[in-house]
Structure 1
């Protein structure tokens, strides 16, 4: 890539002859040469030199850098010609080629689509060798993640007749290195079987089940092993080293992990301080650590979570629980003191709702069992999330909190991702009783984003016609009173008679307690029997005519 300035000497001689005291040289025209795809307006839009401005070589140098900074050119030159009593400045550019195609040759174990997803080379983008190198590194990293440590990748750039390029990655995948065995050294308190059980990297006794060597997993395994030891009282344990030994001939890997266990510690005493709102006995019920047990960081975390949940249930969301852990190394004991700062009662300062594109905010807020100014509890937050999930309108529902403007205030954030709530179904079939049948189902569980549920069902054939339409308002008069109605009309032709049913119903329901509802339904139907054959039974003939049925 080059960045150069070329001045036509003939254009500058008149300027020299004028000497000092003569009028300045004026730029009379600006032009661009060599551009094929990049529009002239885009290029000239980056320069400071304008038609009518004085000719300034220093400014033109900056203009060349600005054009080059667009990233579309391999070379930018400047040409100056005498023109209409001034000069004409022409920027001569050489465009970089565009990427016309990206191909992979030699890949068999990993498909082309997967490889394309791993690189950031887009068709139609400007070719840049730096981007090709980044793509090469991304491909190599993916192959190694899949266990192909012997992979060899070679990028090739082929120039096409129109000066664009085709990039080809030639791939020699090599063999996939599989794990032959995992060797644990330095362990005495925990067995190798226990350690291997928590690792993501696994060995298998059968060839077809052997695990794949992943470098990232090995790094994570070190943390998992340390956590395992910490949960069994080995609070000074560490993974000293992880060594990967490769047998190239057999394409097998042996992983050797060296651990330093240190002494095992047990619980000495567990004390609680700072309890005023709740009885200390109630707080102690949340403690998972008992004197004499092996010290466990996982049980300590569970204890802290349990105490926080206990205080959250009584509106003390600002509670702080600080564990003070002291080691008595000679006695191999750990003494734990839980310092509790109960804090004030916390009230909801604001409820933020986001992500509802179609759904009105009103239908979300009415499902949240708390309002601004109410006492906040974690149970109410969990209940709000569950009620929003139960609506069936959202793919995901996240309910989180953030500190408010004061220590006794909290902000509730509800974030949802909507999903389709409508249904359209068109079908057909054949029945020996009804002959050819066609069905149409339309429904929407969140009509107009108001939470209304509407549906239409139509079924038609040679001997049967059915139609049903329904509507439900889940919050009538902004109260949790669900109300709805259904209208239906059915006509069915039997061998000996024709039956028709026309009617509808009105439905009501209301919750009581947290997980129960009562229902009330009134149904009114007019049933009609007609077209009875002459040779039908007397009992059937008696059913001829219409009847009204009212049912609660």
Structure 2
């Protein structure tokens, strides 16, 4: 916005605003008891009336006034922030107060800002149109804009406030921005680390180094406030791995000579790595027997010390006491250090806490989100015993909603000594998202995706999602709405609708599928969930080739597929049980995953079956290094009921269960058909193991390598009649060795897979190289 018509008054770039010099001729005032004025006049005021000025001054006619009292009156008038200057002029028995009012702000503009738009900067300003102009407020606004640029990594940005006089004692306020280039983090180094490499520690930090390749599109920015966060995550990382005395002694930041990059060095002291020694339970509460709680704790001797393990033990014990009807029980973990063998003896001591109750929970700042969405994150309600641990957990759950940019939860004294009030102060943030995506792989070609999502629909905490994706020969669309607290309980309810279509998609037939599925989900334990669902779908198999009648050797597709061509409706109920400790478990370097699901079709519709799938997997860091090992075993079975035969759209396909083959590259196959169609199978199993490791290049390049071994099979059909006995649906194990190269680029993650099948069948469709990229913006 240009506001350049008129002379501009420039404030200094350092934002040190000039303070008006006020002449106060108090020399005529008596030094002793003071001088009395029978009349006090006010001049120069336009907007502020005389009574208000005298009220600010705090003096009146007939009262003897000393120089000190007049000076105090002057300070009070200036403190109102309404006047640029004040002059006291005594003349006989009359005291004249002459004021010069600050102008009124007419318009506010920000100029020169190309990297950060007005919509992001304007809410930071305290100066407002049609209000009195304040130099100190303008100074604070300039600092706020400069801070916004500093947070964006542009440390050299200069903000200069200027005022342009207008008629009727008005001014336009212009904040001139001189932008600067992004200041990168050129190098992150560590001093004092012997247990973990610089590379691994850099992966922990929120601040990243700028790399050669990434600099072409996006650069890592230096943000001063992020350093405090990095200190904390580094401390948490070490202490979760047994380094109880770890500390970051200092962080030094050095500006490059060219003043366009920072060099950051973390000076750390690791200390010794401790393990748990003796672990026991003690009770200082007469009615609680320690023996009743010994099986609750999962902390074991020999495990690496971790605050997470102790917190988990405390939470389990307090929950057990509460379930037994014992309120106000607190657990005090008492640790004894054994320096000689580097162990920590731990005793969980049950103690009686103070009898304090929750008086109420006050929630403020939620302009969009409803109170009940925040309130249901508390297991505590008004009148319950006060449990500090539960309040902290509730605070973490509120932050995990990702609805708020800031969420503070703190107790304060209530109306009685045994009462506390829980204050919840939140700052809303946008929760909607629009996404576009592009992906490519050798097998599937180019594809695109568009998505809309809202995490907090209508402020109710509901999740609404819509996505459309498509490729060369496939299309899919999904719409879902999830209520995370159905009927106010810890049960999620979801209704989803989907549509998909393929046109000769890695096969010699086409498909269409439309489905509707309501479901319920609830937590079974800290790491496990159970979901229940009903699904009704209409499926169509079409475009199956029946052969060329003019060519006796062309049999087209398999007669099995020709018999199965047509439409079917399926109606099923099912459940999925999942257990997952990855990223949230007690062991920070390992996790396991288990999933078991079944669907029962036959509640109406055209098909009757039981479809079962299971998966078990594990992930761990090898020897505390930056090498990750993952392994998973999965399998499934389709059991048809009431004498029915399975349908290709219900059977298991090869998919990507075993890398190194095309989408339908292995499994039961009709070798008599010209197309040699892959028919899918009633059973499948697959075992996938992969090692992911750095390749020696600098971490900022984002390049890693991997080795993997996959093995599996798809087999079993119900009806092979009419095929001449040439359908091979036996169990044949396929095994593949492969190597991968991963590259994190600004365009998205790239993956290159090079494979070789060490065991396969002659009719399998092998794919020895695959390249994929996926990006979203």
Q: With the length of structure 2 as denominator, give the TM-score of the two structures.
A: 0.41
- 1:116 aligns to what? 122
Alpha-carbon distance in structure 1 between the residues aligned to 2:78 and 2:268? 56
User: What whole-Å deviation, never above 9, does each CA across 1:472-503 have from its counterpart, x for those lacking one?
Assistant: xxxxxxxxxxxxxxxxxxxxxxxxxxxxxxxx
Could you say which residue in structure 2 is the equivalent of 1:544?
none
Instruction: Compute the displacement of 1:47 (Å).
Output: 4.2
Gap runs ≥5 in structure 2: 1-19, 368-377, 399-403, 427-777
Aligned to 1:167: 173
Give the structure 2 partner of residue 201 of structure 1. Answer: 207
Equivalent residues in 2 for 1:193-232, closer than 5 Å = 193-203=199-209, 206-207=214-215, 208=217, 210-232=219-241
Closer, same or farther: CA 229–108 of 1 in aligned 2, 3 Å? same
Q: Within 5 Å, which residues of 2 pair with 1:159-308?
A: 159-203=165-209, 206-207=214-215, 208=217, 210-247=219-256, 251-274=260-283, 276-308=286-318
Change (3 A) 1:413 1:97: closer
Residues 361-407 of structure 1: per-residue CA shift (max 9 Å, x gap): xxxxxxx999999x8598xx99xx9xxx9xxxxx9x99998888999
Please name the residue that 2:101 is paired with: 95
Residues 1:319 and 2:325 aligned together? no
CA shift for structure 1 position 348: 6.3
For the residues of structure 2 that align with 1:369 and 1:323, how far apart are their CA atoms?
23
Alpha-carbon offset, residue 302 of structure 1 = 1.9
Superposed, which structure 2 residues align to 1:371-390 within 5 Å?
none
Q: Secondary structure at the match of 2:318?
A: helix
Question: Aligned partners of 2:306, 2:38: CA distance in 1, in Å?
Answer: 82
C-alpha distance in 1 between matches for 2:83 and 2:386: 61
Q: Secondary structure at the match of 1:66?
A: helix
Distance 1:398 1:172 in 2: 35
Residues 347 and 175 (structure 1 numbering): CA distance in 2 closer, same or farther, change over 3 Å? closer
Partners of 1:71 and 1:95 in 2: how far apart? Answer: 9
Q: How far is 1:128 from its partner? A: 3.6
- State how far apart, in whole Å, the 2-side matches of 1:352 and 1:221 are: 33
Residues 447-494 of structure 1 show CA distances to partners (whole Å, capped at 9, x for unaligned) of: xxxxxxxxxxxxxxxxxxxxxxxxxxxxxxxxxxxxxxxxxxxxxxxx
Which secondary structure state, in structure 2, belongs to the residue aligned with residue 294 of structure 1? coil
C-alpha distance 72-234 of structure 1, shift in aligned 2 (>3 A)? same
Alignment match, 1:488: none
SS of match in other structure, 1:45 = helix
Counterpart CA distance in 1 for 2:27 and 2:250 is 68
8 Å Cα contact 1:107/1:173 also seen in 2: yes
Whether the 8 Å CA contact 2:35–2:66 is kept in 1: the answer is: no
Paired with 2:48 and 2:103, the residues of 1 have a C-alpha distance of 11
Match of 2:351 among 341, 361, 369: 341
Residue 158 of structure 2 contacts residue 179 of structure 2 at CA under 8 Å; is this kept in 1? yes
Are the structure 2 counterparts of residues 299 and 194 from structure 1 closer, same or farther at C-alpha, using a change threshold of 3 Å?
farther
Confirm or deny: 8 A CA contact 2:358 2:385 kept in the other structure. no
User: 2:731 maps to which residue?
Assistant: none
Residues 303 and 33 of structure 1: CA distance in aligned 2, closer, same or farther (over 3 Å): same
Q: Give distance in 2, aligned partners of 1:264 and 1:8.
A: 76
Number of residues of Structure 1 aligned to a counterpart in Structure 2: 376
Kindly name which structure, 1 or 2, has the bigger radius of gyration based on alpha carbons. 1
Which structure shows the bigger proportion of residues in helix conformation?
1
- Note the C-alpha offset of 1:79: 3.8
Offset at 1:248?
Answer: 6.3
Separation (CA, whole Å) in 1 of partners of 2:381 and 2:184:
57
Q: How many angstroms apart in 1 are the aligned matches of 2:416 and 2:168?
A: 66
> Conserved in 2, the CA contact under 8 Å of 1:315 and 1:377?
no
TM value normalised by structure 1: 0.56
The answer to whether the Cα contact below 8 Å between 2:108 and 2:172 also exists between their aligned partners in 1 is yes
Corresponding position: 1:145 with 2:164 = no
Say if 1:89 and 1:173 are closer, same or farther in 2 by CA, change over 3 A: same
- Counterparts in 2 of 1:126 and 1:224: CA distance versus 1, 3 Å: same
Report whether the alignment pairs 1:2 with 2:21: yes
